[in-house]
Amino acid sequence: MKEKFNSIDLFKFLMAIVVVAFHTNPFVHCKSTLVNEIVIMIADMSVPFFFMASGYLLAVRWGDTRQQREQYIQKTLLSTMRLYVTWTLLSLPLTIYGYIMSGNGIISCIVSYIKYFLFVGKLYNSYHLWYLLAMIYAFLAMWILIHWGKGVGSILATGVFFYAVYLLFGWNMQNDNVNDLLAAAGKVFYFVFNSGNVLTGMLYMSIGICIRERGRVSLEISIVGIAAGILVRYSLSQELGNILLSVMLFALILNIKLKDNAGYIILRSLSKYIYLLHLLCFSFYTFIIIRQPNKLGIDSFIVTFTLATVISAAVIYGKGFLKRKVKEEHRDNC
């Protein structure tokens, strides 16, 4: 019997809503510090959830042998690269608009585009695509490690290393009292990667793989871990607290048992397209409809989410219709 992941599918959809809310900010006029802090904390866990879900599901499907894993990762890497290129091109009109508004020269804009496309993933009003670029980096690193005969432990260690580099250079940019060599390295890093967000996906994906390979965390430990994560976030380190919170939330979600329903598969597909489409919809609403570019607020959230959901549903239906037609034609020709 094929294994189902209903809780992951449900929370993918819920987290897609969180991402839309984060980028459109329906709470922009909220004065409550508590509400705003809760919103930020939930938003901080949304992208790590997607990374861990991707890693977990990768480990479900990648097989048992080195050859099987290498081939599956390569296939997934190429698929993700096609997705990244496709949606970057679909967002090109917005990117061109952003460069026109910047007032920079054409050579400067071309160099900037190459940098952001290859190393940052955050072009004008398509900044959410950094997630796909981070996955490309992670898949490439995993493919190399598996090709070299390394296992899950090495993948996790590499993820920790990448994240440590990201934290180190983030700290470096915020401190003036560093030696000249480290300061120079920090400037080079920032020039290439900006903040270096593309290096963070490997850690969370490797954690998702480890949870699948080494065994799930119990419900009780998940709940205690979430409480500990909140404590760490607000008393010791926001970064470490967010990691612990995100991991324990994902572990908690895996412990939620939901009855099988075809709707969860639909939610999975909807979450994917809502994530990819929402900034295009946001731009259409704020640039074309109300002519207030990038206006935040409850109206932007509602329109963006509604429009992205309707278009996503139409895409899913259209793809399903085409598949059915192909099957019918194949059956008729047999």
pLDDT tens digits, residue range 207-266?
A: 999 999 988 889 999 999 999 999 999 999 999 999 999 999 999 999 999 998 889 999
pLDDT at 312 over 80: yes
Six-digit token string for 291: 């002519």
Each domain of the chain, given as residue ranges in start order, spans: 6-333
| pLDDT score of 246 | 97
| pLDDT score of 322 | 66
The pLDDT-based confidence of 71 (bands split at 50, 70, 90) is very high
Mean predicted confidence (pLDDT) in 5-17:
96
Six-digit token string for 66: 């080195």
Q: What is the mean pLDDT of the chain?
A: 92
The string of pLDDT tens digits covering residues 226-238 is 999 999 999 999 9
| pLDDT score of 245 | 96
| pLDDT score of 232 | 96
| pLDDT score of 174 | 75
Q: Diameter of the chain by CA atoms? A: 74
The string of pLDDT tens digits covering residues 15-60 is 999 999 999 999 999 999 999 999 999 999 999 999 999 999 999 9
The pLDDT-based confidence of 66 (bands split at 50, 70, 90) is very high
The pLDDT-based confidence of 329 (bands split at 50, 70, 90) is low
DSSP string, 58-113: HHHHS-SSHHHHHHHHHHHHHHHHHHHHHHHHHTHHHHHHHHHHHT--HHHHHHHH
| Distance between CA atoms of residues 219 and 20, nearest Å | 29
The pLDDT-based confidence of 327 (bands split at 50, 70, 90) is low
| pLDDT score of 74 | 96
The pLDDT-based confidence of 1 (bands split at 50, 70, 90) is low
Is residue 5 within 8 Å of residue 257, measured between CB atoms? no
Inter-axis angle of helices 298-333 and 6-24, to 10 degrees? 140
The string of pLDDT tens digits covering residues 255-304 is 999 998 889 999 999 999 999 999 999 999 999 999 999 999 999 999 99
Is residue 20 within 8 Å of residue 278, measured between CB atoms? yes
pLDDT at 332 over 80: no
**Nearest of 316, 271, 281, 276 to residue 302 by alpha carbon:** 281
- In the DSSP assignment, the letter for residue 308 is H
Is residue 43 within 8 Å of residue 196, measured between CB atoms? no
Sequence-ordered list of residues with C-beta below 8 angstroms from that of 290, at least 6 positions apart, any chain: 299
pLDDT at 169 over 90: no
Sequence-ordered list of residues with C-beta below 8 angstroms from that of 210, at least 6 positions apart, any chain: 152, 156
Q: How many residues does the chain have?
A: 334
| pLDDT score of 2 | 67
Mean predicted confidence (pLDDT) in 94-117:
94
Single-letter code of the amino acid located at 106:
I
| pLDDT score of 200 | 96
Six-digit token string for 193: 């990667």
The pLDDT-based confidence of 186 (bands split at 50, 70, 90) is confident
Is residue 61 within 8 Å of residue 72, measured between CB atoms? yes
DSSP string, 219-242: HHHHHHHHHHHHHHHHHT-HHHHH
The pLDDT-based confidence of 319 (bands split at 50, 70, 90) is confident
The pLDDT-based confidence of 77 (bands split at 50, 70, 90) is very high
Inter-axis angle of helices 33-61 and 238-254, to 10 degrees? 60
